[in-house]
Structure 1
Amino acid sequence: MLVQYLFVFVCFLIDGAVESIFPVSFTMGHMYFVSCFGVCGLVLTIRKMDFVDAMILSVLSGMFYDFFYTDSFLVYTFIFSLLCIIVKAWTKHLGETLLESVVICISSLFAMQLITYGLMLVTGQTTVSFMVWITNRMFLTIVVNAVFVVILFFFANLRDSHLKKKELRIRKEERLFLYKATKARK
């Protein structure tokens, strides 16, 4: 469990590094992308967890994102919790191939950005039209993050194989201990 939390945390740190290298320009005529390495790492992680653990990780990730990246209060905690519910519903119908992982991450990313845009529009924090938002922000964000998901997919598989090897080693030790205990009784 700790490895999964650290994996998501490192993904959010990579987001910070990418955003410092490629700063966002909010001028109306320019296209820009928002690095969502952490969100994609969260999606790839929570799709393999049970619902309660996934919701806890989503809430903690949302609080971290609110505090360190957006300086808002519980907005992304709510969005990441809603994203967890959406991802857990979608993963029942998807496998774990690279293409399906890219689809679920990009769909989740679009849903998260759409919810954020909707909240900003409703609260009056933005006056950008939907078409300008799609062309200037979402197009490049989806393309760049699709590349990130491919890279992240391989790291997530490395993490999962490490966890499986660790669990298998623990199970072997348990069987060996059980075998010795039953042999000693006879």
Structure 2
Amino acid sequence: MIYEAAFIGLGLIADMILTTLFPFDFALNHSVFIPCTGFCALMLTVRQKNLLDSLFMAFAAGMVFDFLNADHFMLSSLVCMACAFLIHIWSKHISSSLLELMILLLSIIFVKELLIYFYMTASNLSAMSLMTWLSKRLVTTLVGNLAPILLVIWMNDQRQTLQIRRESIRRKGEKLRWEQLK
């Protein structure tokens, strides 16, 4: 659990750095890049859990995202839970190759951005058309997250390797009671 939290935390730090490098244009006069490395780290983490654990973890991480963004209460929590549910369903049908994970993460970013757009439109916070949203925000977000997604997938592989190595060391240190009686 500590490795998973550190992995998601590193993703959030990368998001903060990328947000500083590529500032947000609230008027949407230019294309907007929304970094999603923390979100992708969360999705790769919940992908390996059962449904209830993944929904709970997505809700908790969404609350952290809401606290860091502080724009709409519970929006990130609900979006993360919906995306975690989709990841849980989709992960049953794919393996863990690089291309499949990239497509999975890009499609889940697409779903996340569409859910946010529909929320903004339904609550009258945005009067922007879908095509403007797609051209000004979504395309730049998807293309801009290609390189960070590769980094997140590599970091996830390193995290899994570290967890497996630590588990095998822990198991080697365990002695069975009947072996001690010899």
What is the TM-score with the length of structure 1 in the denominator?
A: 0.93
> 1:65-84, CA deviations, whole angstroms, 9 ceiling, x for partnerless residues?
11111432111111111111
Letter matched to residue 127 of structure 2: T
Shift, 1:152, TM fit = 1.0
Query: CA RMSD of the aligned region, Å?
Result: 1.3
Confirm whether residue 134 of structure 1 aligns to residue 134 of structure 2. yes
Deviation, 1:52, is 2.5
In structure 1, list runs of 5 or more residues that go unmatched.
Answer: none
Give the Cα separation in 1 of the matches to 2:62 and 2:156: 20
Match of 2:45 in 1: 45
The range that moved more, 155-164 or 53-62, is 53-62
Task: Give unmatched runs, 5+ long, in structure 2.
Answer: none
C-alpha distance in 2 between matches for 1:149 and 1:75: 23
Deviation, 1:26, is 3.0
- What SS is found at the alignment partner of 1:92? helix
* Structure having the higher Rg: 1
Aligned length: 182
1:185 to partner: Cα distance: 2.7
Counterpart of 1:74 in structure 2 is 74
Give the share of equivalent positions with the same residue, in percent: 26
Q: Deviations over 1:98-136 (max 9, x none)?
A: 111101111110101100000000000001111111111
From 140, 164, 182, give the equivalent of 2:178: 182
Separation of aligned partners in 2, 1:27 and 1:74:
24
TM-score, with length taken from structure 2: 0.95
Which segment is superposed worse, 69-78 or 142-151? Answer: 69-78
The Cα of 1:30 is off from its aligned counterpart by 1.3
